[in-house]
C-alpha cells in the first residue's frame, strides 16, 4: 500500500452511434488531478451542457484535493500531519467523516488497510535500483510510525489527533474513489443522467451510452498490459488495485510495490484485484484491502459486503471470482 498504489486499469469502450435530433451528446476530457489522471465522460442534452458539467466535475475534484491531499502543504490533512504528537486539529465534517470511514476499514482488516501508511519509510525501490532485499530490521523500522490505533478522533469537536510525532495520514487508497463518487452524486442531482468519472482506475459510472446500451469497460490483462483481460458492461463503480507494473524479484519470489502497512513487506500472491459495486469509495478501499490480505482472507472480508463482488488474478495466473460475482458471461483471457 502506498500513496499511489492504484494505476489506470480500464479502457472505456464507446460504440459509434448515429445521433438523431432528440439524442443526447457525449463529451470526454482528461486532466491531471490528485496526483493522477482523471478521464471524465458526460452525456447531456447538448455540447454546452456537457462541457459545463465536465468543468463542474473538475472543480469538485480540485475542491476535494485541496481538502485531503497530504502532499499539498495548506490542506487540512497536511495540517493534521504537521501537528502530529502536538495537538488535535479541527477539520471540516466531510474530512472527519471520510477519516472515520477509513478507520473502519483499518479495523475490519486488522491494519491491512491503514491511512497512516503515509508515514512509512520508502525503503523499497521499484525503479530497478534494488539489488537485495532490505534487512528485517530496516523493514520493521520503516513502519514504526504507522498504526491506525494512534489516530484519535473527537466527533464532538470534529478534530483529528495523531498521537506520535512523525505520524502522517493520507488518502491515496481512498481519495480517488471518494472523489469519483461525489462527482457522480453531484451530476445526478443536477439532472445529468449518464456519465463516467475515472480517477486512475477508480471509476464511477451511471446511466447509459447515448444509444441506450450499457457502458462497456475493458479491464487490462495484468500479464499482457497491452491486451484486455475482459470487456464487461457496467453500471456502478469499479476499481482495481494491481502490482504488475512495479515489482522486484528476489529468490524467485515476486514482491509488489503495494506494501502491507502492518508489516512493511510488499504483498505477494495476487497481481490484481478488481472490485465491482455501487460505491467507488468502498470499492476502492476493498480492492486495496484485498490485495494486502490475499485471496483467502480477502474473499472472507468481501462476504461482509454483499453488494460488492471481485475478480482476483494470482501471481500464478489463476482467475478467482468471488461467490457473488454478478457479471454474466464473463470470460477472462489471460
Can you tell me the mean pLDDT for 17-26?
60
State mean pLDDT over 252-278. Answer: 89
Q: What mean pLDDT is predicted for residues 233-260?
A: 84
Give the residue-averaged pLDDT of 134-151: 95
How do residues 101-128 score in pLDDT, each as one tens digit? 999 999 999 898 999 999 998 899 888 8
d(CA 24, CA 295): 43
Q: How many of the other CB atoms lie within 10 Å of CB of 77?
A: 26
Contacts 24+ apart (CB under 8 A), 303-312: 304/108, 305/277, 307/277, 307/278, 308/275, 308/276, 308/277, 308/282, 308/283, 309/275, 309/276, 309/277, 310/273, 310/274, 310/275, 310/276, 310/286, 311/219, 311/273, 311/274, 312/270, 312/272, 312/273
The more confidently predicted of residues 7 and 280 is 280
Tell me the Ramachandran region of residue 329: left when phi exceeds 0, alpha when psi lies from -120 to 50, beta otherwise: left
Q: Are strands 237-242 and 270-277 parallel, antiparallel or unpaired?
A: antiparallel
Mean pLDDT, range 12-35, rounded to an integer: 71
Higher pLDDT, 215 or 13: 215
Q: Are 275 and 287 in contact (CB under 8 A)?
A: yes
For residue 22, what pLDDT is reported? 52
Strand partners, 242: 272
Alpha helices in the chain (DSSP H): 47-68, 76-82, 93-108, 136-142, 175-189, 280-293, 295-302
Per-residue pLDDT band for 10 (boundaries 50, 70, 90) equals low
> Among all chains, which residue has been given the C-alpha cell 491486451?
227
Q: State the cell numbers at 177.
A: 474513489
For the record, the C-alpha cell of 282 comes out as 468502498
- Average pLDDT of the chain to the nearest whole number: 89
pLDDT band at 329 (very low <50, low <70, confident <90, very high): low
In this prediction, residue 1 carries a pLDDT of 52
User: Residue with C-alpha cell 486539529?
Assistant: 89
pLDDT given at position 156: 98
pLDDT band at 298 (very low <50, low <70, confident <90, very high): very high
Average pLDDT of the residues in 302-326: 92
Please tell me the predicted confidence (pLDDT) of residue 58: 98
State the CB neighbour count (10 A cutoff) for residue 69: 21
pLDDT at residue 3, rounded to an integer: 38
Mark 203-221 as b/e (b = at least 16 C-beta within 10 Å).
bbbbbbbbeeeebebbbbb
**CA dist 91 → 3, 19, 33 (Å):** 21, 47, 22
pLDDT mean over 1-17: 47
- The mean pLDDT of 146-152, rounded to a whole number, is 97
| pLDDT tier for residue 6 given thresholds of 50, 70 and 90 | very low
Mean pLDDT value across residues 72-90: 97
Question: Which of 207, 196, 172, 195 has its CA nearest to residue 287?
Answer: 172
Cβ-count burial 160-170 (b if 16+ within 10 Å, e if not): bbbebeebbbb
Taking residue 153's Cβ as centre, other Cβ atoms within 10 Å add up to 16
Tell me what pLDDT residue 9 has. 53
**Burial, 46: exposed, middle or buried (Cβ in 10 Å; 0-12, 13-18, 19+)?**
exposed
Q: Report the 10 Å Cβ neighbour count for 67.
A: 18
Question: What percent of the chain shows pLDDT beyond 70?
Answer: 92
Lookup: cell for 196: 463516467
The candidate with the shortest Cα–Cα distance to 258, out of 248, 266, 269, 250, is 266
pTM over 0.85: yes
Average of pLDDT values for 324-330? 75
In the predicted model, is pLDDT for residue 238 greater than 70?
A: yes
Measured at the CA of 59, the angle between CA 170 and CA 279, to 5 degrees, comes to 55
Q: What is the pLDDT of residue 327?
A: 73
Amino acid at each position: 500500500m502506498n500513496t499511489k498504489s492504484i494505476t489506470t486499469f480500464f479502457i472505456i469502450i464507446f460504440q459509434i452511434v448515429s445521433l438523431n435530433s432528440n439524442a443526447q451528446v457525449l463529451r470526454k476530457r482528461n486532466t491531471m488531478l490528485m496526483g493522477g489522471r482523471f478521464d471524465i465522460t458526460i452525456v447531456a442534452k447538448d455540447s454546452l451542457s456537457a462541457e459545463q458539467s465536465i468543468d463542474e466535475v473538475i472543480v469538485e475534484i480540485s475542491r476535494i484535493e485541496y481538502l485531503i491531499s497530504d502532499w499539498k502543504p495548506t490542506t487540512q490533512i497536511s495540517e493534521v500531519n504537521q501537528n502530529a504528537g502536538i495537538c488535535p486539529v479541527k477539520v471540516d465534517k466531510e474530512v472527519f467523516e471520510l477519516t472515520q470511514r477509513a478507520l473502519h476499514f483499518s479495523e475490519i482488516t486488522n491494519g491491512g488497510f491503514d491511512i497512516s501508511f503515509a508515514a512509512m519509510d520508502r525503503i523499497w525501490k521499484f525503479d530497478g535500483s534494488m539489488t537485495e532485499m532490505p534487512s528485517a530490521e530496516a523493514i520493521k523500522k520503516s513502519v514504526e510510525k504507522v498504526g491506525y490505533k494512534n489516530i484519535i478522533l473527537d466527533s464532538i469537536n470534529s478534530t483529528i489527533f495523531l498521537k506520535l510525532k512523525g505520524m502522517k495520514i493520507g488518502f491515496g487508497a481512498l481519495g480517488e474513489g471518494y472523489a469519483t463518487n461525489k462527482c457522480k452524486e453531484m451530476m445526478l442531482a443536477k439532472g445529468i443522467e449518464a456519465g463516467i468519472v475515472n480517477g486512475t482506475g477508480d471509476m464511477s459510472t451511471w446511466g447509459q451510452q447515448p444509444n441506450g446500451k450499457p457502458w462497456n469497460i475493458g479491464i487490462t490483462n495484468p500479464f499482457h498490459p497491452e491486451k484486455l483481460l475482459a470487456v464487461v458492461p457496467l453500471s456502478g463503480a469499479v476499481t482495481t488495485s494491481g502490482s504488475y507494473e512495479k515489482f522486484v524479484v528476489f529468490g524467485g519470489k515476486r514482491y509488489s510495490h503495494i506494501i502491507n502497512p502492518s508489516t512493511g513487506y510488499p504483498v505477494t500472491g495476487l497481481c490484481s484485484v478488481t472490485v465491482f459495486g455501487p460505491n467507488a469509495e468502498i470499492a476502492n478501499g476493498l480492492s486495496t484491502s484485498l490485495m494486502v490480505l490475499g485471496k483467502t482472507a480477502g474473499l472472507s472480508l468481501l462476504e461482509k459486503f454483499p453488494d460488492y463482488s471481485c475478480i482476483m488474478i494470482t501471481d500464478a495466473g489463476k482467475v478467482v471470482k468471488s461467490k457473488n460475482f454478478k457479471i454474466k458471461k464473463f470470460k477472462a483471457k489471460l
